């Protein structure tokens, strides 16, 4: 097949969504398909919508392919142009903007509904994401659920190591994610402050929202946590691997996750998760077995989870072992790519 991929930014980006797109491209090429990548500049939402009147962008998108993949995050620039394009389109939905509680959510929902009405198929990273997509009018028969693999690190770790680590103190909590309101870092800091536990926190991630990051740092100072919270910033894969290997718990209590690949990556190190019930985290995190699920914006629930892990090394070890086994059962990239290829071939009307 001749496949295209349209996305905002660079395919070499480090977030989970970019890694997913990159792994798809690698898998499709390995299967013998050609893939042309169209990288669009990042846009603010209003500026993206203005792109739909751009003849230059329309001309750039007129590439010779059997089917075009589009990363749904670029939908503002594509919602009006799609109906003018000469090929079938399959959207890759990592996370719908309208799934988050925001002031402009009704606007985002209306635009995303219209965008999804212009595509011929949808790749969803989880069943909850497919549920949201179908509620916006997409026929379930035109979707494929193709979850990402969590093998970014794929460390070698055994039950004895998990057991030994669980008895060390203080409890080492790790947050991994962009420092933005959606990821729930301030909820985690508030939970740590409220917890009656010997625990410390390492925060790993880019400060994409500087105002939010400044508020988080003020929370740390105001709650007297300066000696217990380390803002590590963005780390190399090697440094992040070492941080996760030394941790006890991965905590990312997001407002919403389409899938939450970071939970699976933490589980590869035998780390149970503190995760939000909102969105696709439940695909990976089983409450009471491989981690603890909390409601978004609930620091008291986060505090209880931290106390529970800190007070019960046996529980921490058992959940860590269960988390590692859950990671080992998860499908790999070849299966994910195969599911996407079947949908692409069906949409394009060609042999897979």
Residue 14 pLDDT grade (very low, low, confident, very high; cuts 50, 70, 90):
confident
Is the model's pLDDT at 101 over the cut of 90? no
Residue 45 pLDDT grade (very low, low, confident, very high; cuts 50, 70, 90):
very high
Q: Is 148 exposed, middle or buried (0-12, 13-18, 19+ CB in 10 A)?
A: buried
b/e sequence 30-54, b meaning 16+ C-beta within 10 Å: eeebebebbebeeeeeeebbebbee
Is the model's pLDDT at 64 over the cut of 90? yes
Element housing 352 (H / E): none
For the entire predicted model, the pTM comes to 0.87
CA distance 129 to 280: 7
Any idea of the CA torsion for 185, 189, 190, 196, to the nearest 10 degrees?
A: 140
Bridge-partner residues for 204, per DSSP? 176, 233
End-to-end CA distance of the chain: 7
Q: How confident is the model at residue 72, as a pLDDT?
A: 97
Is the model's pLDDT at 165 over the cut of 90? yes
CA distance 38 to 4: 7
Q: What would the mean pLDDT of 50-57 be, rounded to a whole number?
A: 96
CA distance 344 to 93: 14
CA distance 159 to 102: 42
Q: 72-81, 98-107, 130-139: which range is least confident on average?
A: 98-107
Q: How confident is the model at residue 179, as a pLDDT?
A: 96
Q: What would the mean pLDDT of 304-315 be, rounded to a whole number?
A: 98
Is the model's pLDDT at 208 over the cut of 90? no
CA distance 5 to 327: 28
Q: How confident is the model at residue 1, as a pLDDT?
A: 94
Residue 91's CB is within 10 A of a number of other CB atoms, namely 28
Is the model's pLDDT at 119 over the cut of 90? yes
Given strand 273-276, what is the order of strands in its sheet?
Answer: 229-233, 199-204, 171-176, 249-252, 273-276, 291-294
CA distance 39 to 37: 6
Query: Dihedral of CA 50/182/232/217: which sign?
Result: positive
CA distance 151 to 160: 21
Q: How confident is the model at residue 350, as a pLDDT?
A: 87
Q: How confident is the model at residue 260, as a pLDDT?
A: 86
- 52, 159, 279, 303 from 125: Cα distances, Å: 27, 30, 11, 30
Cα angle, residue 67 at apex, residues 65 and 69 outer, rounded to 5°: 110
For each of the domains in the chain, give its residue range(s) and CATH number, in order of start: 2-148+332-348 (3.40.50.2000), 159-329 (3.40.50.2000)
Is the model's pLDDT at 100 over the cut of 90? no
- 51, 74, 84 from 55: Cα distances, Å: 9, 17, 11
Q: How confident is the model at residue 239, as a pLDDT?
A: 97
Q: What would the mean pLDDT of 174-189 be, rounded to a whole number?
A: 96
Of 169, 185, 165, which Cα lies nearest the Cα of 177?
185
Q: How confident is the model at residue 226, as a pLDDT?
A: 97
Q: 185-194, 212-221, 257-266: which range is least confident on average?
A: 257-266
* Span 240-279, pLDDT tens digits: 999 999 999 999 999 988 888 899 999 999 999 999 998 8
Average pLDDT, the chain: 95
**Residue 66 · residue 2 · CB < 8 Å:** yes
Of 134, 118, 116, 117, which Cα lies nearest the Cα of 126?
134
Q: How confident is the model at residue 17, as a pLDDT?
A: 87
């Amino acid at each position: 097949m001749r496949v295209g991929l349209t996305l905002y930014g660079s395919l070499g980006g480090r977030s989970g969504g970019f890694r997913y797109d990159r792994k798809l491209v690698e898998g499709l090429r390995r299967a013998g398909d050609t893939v042309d990548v169209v990288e669009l500049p990042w846009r603010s939402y209003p500026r993206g919508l203005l792109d739909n009147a751009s003849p230059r962008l329309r001309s750039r998108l007129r590439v010779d392919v059997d089917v075009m993949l589009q990363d749904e995050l670029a939908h503002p620039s594509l919602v009006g142009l799609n109906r003018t394009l000469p090929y079938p389109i399959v959207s890759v939905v990592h996370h719908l903007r309208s799934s988050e509680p925001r002031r402009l959510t009704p606007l985002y929902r209306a635009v995303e509904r219209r965008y999804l009405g212009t595509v011929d198929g949808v790749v969803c990273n989880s069943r909850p994401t497919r549920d949201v997509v179908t509620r916006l009018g997409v026929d379930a028969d035109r979707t494929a659920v193709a979850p990402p693999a969590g093998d970014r690190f794929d460390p070698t770790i055994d039950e004895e190591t998990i057991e030994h680590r669980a008895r060390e103190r203080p409890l080492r909590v790790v947050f991994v994610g962009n420092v933005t309101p959606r990821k729930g870092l301030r909820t985690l800091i508030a939970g740590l402050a409220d917890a009656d536990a010997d625990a410390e926190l390492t925060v790993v991630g880019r400060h994409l929202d500087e105002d939010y990051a400044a508020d988080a740092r003020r929370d740390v100072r105001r709650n007297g946590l300066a000696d217990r919270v380390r803002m590590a910033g963005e780390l190399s894969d090697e440094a992040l691997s070492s941080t996760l290997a030394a941790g006890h718990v991965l905590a990312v209590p997001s407002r919403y996750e389409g899938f939450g690949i970071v939970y699976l990556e933490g589980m590869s190190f035998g780390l149970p998760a503190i995760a939000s019930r909102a969105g696709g985290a439940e695909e990976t995190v089983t409450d009471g077995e491989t981690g603890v699920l909390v409601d978004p914006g609930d620091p008291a629930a986060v505090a209880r989870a931290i106390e529970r892990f800190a007070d019960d090394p046996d529980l921490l070890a058992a959940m860590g072992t269960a988390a590692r086994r859950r990671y080992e059962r998860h499908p790999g990239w070849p299966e994910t790519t195969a599911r996407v290829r079947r949908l692409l071939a069906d949409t394009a009307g060609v042999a897979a």
